[in-house]
Amino acid sequence: MQLNLTSDQEFFRDTTAKFLNEHAAPPEIRRLREEPDGFVAAYWQQGAELGWTSLLVDEARGGGSISGEGLLDLALVADQFGRHAAPGPLVPNNIVAGAISELSPERHADVLSGLLAGTSTASWCHLEPRPRDGLDDFALDVRVDGSDLILNGTKRPVESAGRASHLLVTGRTGSGLTQVLVATDTIGVTVRPMHTIDLTRRFSEVTFRDVRVAADSVLGEVAGADSQVERQFQQALVMANAETVGAMEFALDMTLEWAFDRYSFGRPLASYQELKHRFADMKTWLEAGHAISDLAAGAVSAGSDDAGELVSAAKAFLGQYGTELLQDCVQMHGGIGLTFEHDIHFFLRRVSLDRSLHGTPSQHRRRIAAGVMTTGNAA
Amino acid sequence: MSTDATEDLDAFRLRARSWIRDNLKPAAAGATAGVLRNNSTDEEELAQVAHERELQGMLFDAGFAGLCFPAAYGGQGLTPAHQQAFNEELTGHEFPVRLQAPTISPCAAVILDFGTEEQKLAHLPAILRGDELWMQFLSEPGGGSDVAGAQTSAVRDGDEWVLNGSKVWTTGAWWSDWGLCLARTNWDVPKHRGLSVFMLPIHQDGIDVHRIEMLNGTKEFCQEFMTDVRVPDTDRIGQVDDGWTVGIRWMFHERMLHNSPYVTIPAGDAHAGIGASSVLRVARESGKLDDVWVRELVGEARMLQLTTEALQRRLTEGMSSGVMSDQSAAIGRLFSGVVSTRTNTIAFEIAGGDSGAWTDDDGAISDCGSDFLMRQVSTIGGGTTEMARNVISERVLGMPRERTLDRDIAFRDVPRGGPS
């Protein structure tokens, strides 16, 4: 998280923190395991009142930010989501709301107002089934048929698709990308729930079979959405990275406290040099994670040339070292760390999920390399 | 500092850009590549030192030396942001690398923090002009990480002190001018309370400079043997027996490495040695860039470099705004050391068989093997990463201190191993 926040940002972050302390406490997270959507409607609507849904939306369209850079404010929320392993479709809902606000606010005004109020949610159908990774290679077909578009293909995993009123579908039209906003109840859309490692996030496989929508469902241009998709992807990465850092920090603090309280052989775990040195490594990974995550968030928010490289570096670093940190926290706890009763697994789940989605460390290392080879910019 | 009195950052940047373009040559390709490579003769080395003194003098005359040093001592009284802007403009150009660490930081930084007015006036302008090159007389052959266990003795004799002992790991002492020396002035108190710091010319009777040959043939590191070296009391820095107060700050500046606002170094060059750019060169010249495993490693090296730079910026911001304690510098030291060893290993891996045996025609691949043999220098030099882990766990995270057997007894009674 950014080191020096404005007082408005601090107030904003603290309000969300207080709300999550009350409404996403560990017993509630455990209870939500049984909840079909992974969260309850009132929770999400109250979150919307706190600003969770509006930060990427234009002020004129009912949105607005705290600092003037909505993505950075959103990263503060994502950080708190990580610190609580909080429920709710923060990433996809904001991506879709932001895209509508920018590209089609008039046509989809009612959808947008539902998303802003938190009375409905939307999801982004981006990633694709194996062997594709859905990063640069899309198979979902969007065909122009007169004044209609016809969609065919499968997307997975799609977050909170079962509950979403609308889906933003990224597909291919010839050599370019097209994005279409589709109501989830459109004929030909099938949502099949998947299993997941997270307790409160829900994912589905969404199939589109000859799904016919009107041409004005397109956000942006047919076959002209490539840079928009890349920007949405970068925004999603900023949120996922901030969430991972938040989860790392909370888990490390929790484990440090345990090391002070737990005695073995007549002394606290915290007094053993072998363990102290591992805590030093974890603290270093955490600070490095904060640093690259914040730097990348700033670059994406500003739309600077190095945004893609930095946000991939952050994702690659956090994917690798975030899960490493969490696994080491489990190790420090011993057997209790592997039980359902203990809270540490909330955070292990969340950072592991965030590592696997939106490109793995390995995929992002290759993206970085591809960029370096093109620009030669590795000095 | 009021913003009115400080040159506007953009104007400064433009002035720096045009001066650098007009006055500095492009950096020689691969000039800072590799790990302490043994690739020049003594004559070439001395010529390069002389050239760098000239470059420093040019910076001084143009008003670009000591940007964050006060004007009263030959600096420019500007901000770390100005230094950062200058470093960014400097990328790709020659610069006086040998004048930076340890001369400007930690040595000049320590003089600025603790020197008397006379001492600062005597040395800081001279350093910023390139007239004085400084070395740290800090580590000792019997010491290693236990810096406060220094055994070099300083005995008072009227207005002078008489120093005896040995210091080691002084890079380039054979071509340097002055040493900043930590010595023991009181053996009857616990180790941290009997130290004092002195300034002394290196090339004088009584100091024998011996060059150490490293495993790759380089002879940059030196050991000095001091016999009855007389230092006037006016060349003592800080109070008698309070040298550890100076020492703590000294090591803080050392841990800041190239991230110190006092240091001039091209942006992106702060991790000279094996960086992402050398990894890319090795991959390209090996003809392996199409291999997925090589791309993964190239991407990893770049990721680590970007993260190291981001971390250093965060730590600087955190420490200067008081959000983080100065001890947090150890976080940057640990991370950059570990990243450096990893990146070195990546280059060695990509080079494959050519890193074990090569010809002079192998370009960037040459010497990957020798660099690998020297890999651990980045986690040993400047304070080991084990010490950094102690500092982070104990001083940053507040975990219990290691038990020591030398804290509350007179230093002369502390058990010591055999001479080394």
Among candidate residues B258, B298, B293, B294, the one with its CA nearest the CA of residue B276: B298
Cβ burial B33-43 (10 Å sphere, 16+ → b, else e): bbbbbbeeeee
Q: CB-based contact (8 Å) between B114 and chain A? A: no
Residue A58: band (very low, low, confident or very high) from pLDDT cuts 50, 70, 90 = very high
Residues of chain B positioned with their CB less than 8 A from the CB of A299: none
C-beta separation of B282 from B274 below 8 A: no
Among candidate residues B172, B164, B171, the one with its CA nearest the CA of residue B200: B164
How far the first Cα of chain A sits from its last, in Å, is: 27
**Residue B145: per-residue pLDDT:** 82
CATH code assigned at B331: 1.20.140.10
Contact B390 A280 (CB under 8 A): yes
Assigned token pair, A273: 């040099």
Which residue in A271, A372, A376 is closest to B400 by CB distance? Answer: A271
Select the residue from B32, B285, B302, B340 to test the A interface by mutation, using most A Cβ atoms within 10 A: B302
CA–CA separation, B184 and B247 (whole Å): 12
Assigned token pair, B214: 């490293």
Q: Over the stretch A180-237, which tens digit does the pLDDT of each residue have?
A: 999 999 999 999 999 999 999 999 999 999 999 999 999 999 999 999 999 999 999 9
Residue B24 lies in a domain: no
Q: Over the stretch A250-282, which tens digit does the pLDDT of each residue have?
A: 999 999 999 999 999 999 999 999 999 999 999
Mean pLDDT (10-residue bins), chain B, 420 residues: 65 96 85 70 93 97 97 95 93 92 95 98 98 96 88 97 96 94 97 97 97 92 97 98 96 81 79 77 94 97 96 91 93 95 96 92 90 94 92 97 89 79
Task: Classify residue A103 as left (phi > 0), alpha (psi -120 to 50) or beta.
Answer: alpha
Among candidate residues A141, A200, A149, A204, the one with its CA nearest the CA of residue A174: A141
Give the gap in angstroms from C-alpha A345 to the nearest C-alpha of chain B.
23
Residue B232 lies in a domain: no
B66 DSSP assignment: S
Contact B399 A370 (CB under 8 A): no
Among candidate residues A277, A360, A347, the one with its CA nearest the CA of residue A318: A360
Domains identified in chain A and CATH numbers: 7-120 (1.10.540.10), 123-217 (2.40.110.10), 226-375 (1.20.140.10)
> Which residue of chain B comes nearest to A309, CA vs CA?
B303
Contact A369 B299 (CB under 8 A): yes
Average confidence score pLDDT of chain A: 96
Contact B298 A372 (CB under 8 A): yes
Collapsing DSSP to helix, strand or coil, B56 comes out as helix
**Residue A268: per-residue pLDDT:** 97
Residue B8 lies in a domain: no
- Looking up tokens 């030192």 gives B49
Which residue in B280, B314, B394 is closest to A372 by CB distance? Answer: B280
Residue B54 lies in a domain: no
Residue B297 lies in a domain: yes
Which residue in B279, B304, B321 is closest to A3 by CB distance? Answer: B321
Contact A372 B390 (CB under 8 A): no
Select the residue from A368, A374, A375, A377 to test the B interface by mutation, using most B Cβ atoms within 10 A: A368
Assigned token pair, B280: 């890319």
CA–CA separation, B400 and B260 (whole Å): 29
Strand intervals (E) in B19-159 = 134-137, 153-157
CA–CA separation, B147 and B138 (whole Å): 7
Q: Helices A273-302 & B292-320, crossing angle to 10 degrees?
A: 90
C-beta separation of B192 from B130 below 8 A: no
pLDDT at A329 over 90: yes
pLDDT at A130 over 70: yes
For residue A317, what are the CA distances in angstroms to A289, A292, A368? 7, 8, 12
CA–CA separation, B150 and B144 (whole Å): 10
Residues of chain B positioned with their CB less than 8 A from the CB of A376: 280
Among candidate residues A366, A353, A237, the one with its CA nearest the CA of residue A297: A237
pLDDT at A176 over 90: yes
Residues of chain B positioned with their CB less than 8 A from the CB of A365: 295-300, 303
Contact A369 B402 (CB under 8 A): no
Would you list the DSSP string of B292-341?
Answer: HHHHHHHHHHHHHHHHHHHHHHHHHHHHHTTSS-GGGHHHHHHHHHHHHH
Give the gap in angstroms from C-alpha B315 to the nearest C-alpha of chain A.
8
Chain centroid to CA B138: how far?
A: 12
Which residue in A268, A366, A373 is closest to B400 by CB distance? Answer: A268
Residue B285 lies in a domain: yes
Q: Considering its fold, how many domains does chain B have in total?
A: 1
Half-sphere exposure of B258 (CA within 13 A, CB side): 20
Collapsing DSSP to helix, strand or coil, A237 comes out as helix
Residue A373: band (very low, low, confident or very high) from pLDDT cuts 50, 70, 90 = confident
Question: What are A155's strand-pairing partners?
Answer: A206
CA–CA separation, B221 and B174 (whole Å): 9
Residue B377 lies in a domain: yes
Which residue in A277, A290, A310 is closest to B389 by CB distance? Answer: A277
**Residue B1: per-residue pLDDT:** 40
CA–CA separation, B273 and B277 (whole Å): 10
C-beta separation of A291 from A313 below 8 A: no
Q: What count of CB pairs under 8 Å joins A to B?
A: 145
Which structural domain, as residue segments, surrounds residue B301? 271-396
What predicted TM-score, i.e. pTM, was given to this entire model?
0.92
User: What is the arithmetic mean of pLDDT over A35-44?
Assistant: 96
Q: Helices A273-302 & A307-333, crossing angle to 10 degrees?
A: 150
Phi, psi of B419 (to 5 degrees): -65, 150
Give the gap in angstroms from C-alpha B33 to the nearest C-alpha of chain A.
11
> Which residue of chain A comes nearest to B280, CA vs CA?
A378
Residue B55 lies in a domain: no
One-letter amino acid for residue A38 of the chain: G
